[in-house]
Structure 1
């Protein structure tokens, strides 16, 4: 038990490091962690095999890929179209997921909204398989989604040479309406449970009319039920549950559906041969009914030549929308996205210019107290005491 607990602890720590992988370096981090975990000198009871490591890594990589907005491509053979990329995210998960017993670890089904397709994505191998057609969504929601998609695509093509964007329509029931529905169903069930079982009496009366002379076997079965209290209670509970469930299901009102639109775009730049990589992530949620745009930006840059320096920054913000109509809302959202990202980019550049000019220079003196550069070839000839006294 202690050895198993120790191996699980090591796996959890390794997966936490895997989730923190810099952009474009999950494979390197995975192989390094594998070399650390597979220590030849470790105890036999504490060893971690490949199957256990891959199962744990599948969960970690699914979290990493979803958070970092990695992309997947449906090629022409699979989609019947030219190569098209889509962002892997939580909003893009297909609603009908296979059970855990049927799905392989780290394999989930996602939606390609532009092509109206669904596909299986392997979070470990980052491969696409089993592409299927997607049923068309609500026409009004799809019209707004396509307008937002067109506006976002134009913006991303202009600003991010290798950027990928996706727009998803997410439908859900409002919380207060879902609670009202649950209360109405509960009240209907309670009222039906307290009322006499009229339907049951009617059914039994009809049966008596049809069967004027019941058989001896039915009489014996009824007598056995009367003599057996457990069977009698179970029969009564079954009748009450069936009579209460039918009116409750029939009286359940239809919950109105609320649609929000999730916009993602991501730009990746990998240059590992020159020891740097970076990723820009942007996520927006458009609530048309509330006329609110929620933004969340994130940038992660890694320099690792003779060192290890990372920039990991994020910025959330909320905007109000004033337009109406699918095209007008899409144009306003694209304008706000451009203004927001340009402003944050300028602030980042200004902050790091000040960091180089002020913060780093404040860490050390640029010149010694003599206000002159030190000639290290003549350092033994300096009369440091006299010069320090004159300074």
Structure 2
């Protein structure tokens, strides 16, 4: 026989997880890990199998207190999966706490609580069923837990407020930065008319300091004007006397210039571009040492025009639609666990009832699992189904929810008594059918003489 591949071993091992006895799934997984010896290859098979086991066995999880709700428990099952959640982001319902949550099946931890609220009609009926079922569970299952869930979609949480766009400023935008005053002791800039004349702050503040400052300014202006006049070269002075050559030319030889009408205007037009070109040339030439450079005339900038305030388009609001089921179903679940590992036995009672308003029925399944493993391995697994019509109106002091739970109680009690009768008949009928009443000799064994029996000779005499 060919040896199984690693994938086949992991696939078979995952099926053992789904069949783990009550309260022993961790022991089963640890044994499988020791047999396979490759957790990296085993975990992809263990995760879905463990999730299936947790949901089918109605695993109980504990929730911390929240507001007015004390510490409580809820069940994990297919019915408690939040309607609308996906497999990638699976969430479960904590109906008592009014929350939904995410669950890690490997680490068995709860996280990411979110609000959960049903519509008023479904919430009221679910609350009545939960109250009646909790009272029944407390009386018949001391360590049991119950849960009632609805297939109706929860109410959508309130939409977050739309973001308010920032107001658009209508003031003109310029590059001018306003001067910030009174920001510190800034050093005063020198007065342009004074140049490098040092002015002491104490002299200005002292009495008569301003008159003295004005005299120094006037004196500096006079010195500056004298320096500019002395620095003008002789070549630039205008020549008044005519040259000797021009004087020796007789008047007869001088050409006569006749002015025609409009010639002056034409000359002015011709002189204007020439003057502009000459001015540009003078500006391009470097100035002599000591002379201040000619500054271009300042052209005032046109005032900035105010930009029209354009309001941005509001962000698109996501359209949310409240989903609803016309006739939702209600699932009532009970689980009772009894673990006694010291005496090598464990047991679990599970019931699941579905209230179908559209069909007008209540159908349920009862599962009982018992495991004895003292010097052996004996398991009991039962499956019992039942169905009854859904009450349509209240009767006397019992509401519809109370009538449903009362009928469930009667069916489960009857089945429990039947199991007790079966156990009573096991010793007298079932177990006796598994072995012979007498040995092959057709004689009862005399246990006082067992030490004196010789098996071979006695069998030979019996056959003779």
> Greater shift after overlay, 367-376 or 139-148?
367-376
Q: Secondary structure at the match of 1:31?
A: helix
Offset at 1:309?
Answer: 0.5
Partner of 2:73: 85
Q: Counting helix residues as a fraction of each chain, which structure ranks higher?
A: 1
Contact preservation (8 Å) 1:323, 1:332: no
Paired position in structure 2 for 1:357: 428
- Structure ranking higher in strand proportion: 1
Q: Are 1:61 and 2:42 matched, yes or no?
A: no
Distance 2:438 2:8 in 1: 51
Q: What is the Cα deviation at residue 7 of structure 1?
A: 2.5
Match of 1:331 in 2: 402
SS of the equivalent of 2:375 reads: coil
Seen in structure 2, the aligned counterparts of structure 1 residues 365 and 52 have a Cα distance that, compared at 3 Å, is closer
Cα pair distance change 1:379/1:52, threshold 3 Å: closer
Q: Secondary structure of the residue that 2:107 maps to in structure 1?
A: coil
Q: TM-score, normalised by structure 2?
A: 0.57
What is the match of residue 19 of structure 1? 18
Structure 1: 5+ residue runs without aligned partners? Answer: 39-47, 173-253
SS at match of 1:322: coil
Deviates more, 1:255-264 or 1:152-161: 255-264
Return the offset for 1:341: 0.8
1:149 equivalent to 2:130? Answer yes
* Alignment deviations for residues 187-229 of structure 1 (CA, whole Å, 9 cap, x no partner): xxxxxxxxxxxxxxxxxxxxxxxxxxxxxxxxxxxxxxxxxxx
Which of these residues, 105, 108, 114, is aligned with residue 96 of structure 2? 114
Q: Using the alignment, how far apart are the partners of 1:169 and 1:159 within structure 2?
A: 24
Residues 99/148 of structure 1: CA separation in 2 closer, same or farther (3 Å cut) = closer
Deviation at 1:145? Answer: 0.6
Provide the residue aligned with 2:391 in structure 1.
322
Offset, 1:28:
0.6
**TM-score, normalised with respect to structure 1:** 0.67
Change (3 A) 1:372 1:15: closer
Distance 1:262 1:367, change over 3 A: same
Measured in 2, the distance between the counterparts of 1:99 and 1:137 equals: 22
**In structure 2, what is the equivalent of residue 97 of structure 1?**
85
Contact 1:74/1:84, CA 8 A, preserved across alignment: yes
Q: What residue in structure 2 maps to residue 379 of structure 1?
A: 453
Kindly report which structure 2 residues correspond to 1:216-365, keeping only aligned pairs within 5 A, or say none: 257-325=326-394, 328-365=399-436
Partner-residue secondary structure (3-state), 1:56: helix
> Which entry has the higher C-alpha Rg, 1 or 2?
2
Contact 1:283 1:297 in 2 (8 A): yes
For 1:387 and 1:159, locate their aligned partners in 2 and report how far apart those are by CA, in whole Å. Answer: 60
Aligned 8 A contact 2:391 2:404 in 1: no
**Could you list the runs of 5+ residues in structure 2 that have no partner in the other structure?**
154-322
Q: Report the aligned-residue RMSD.
A: 3.1
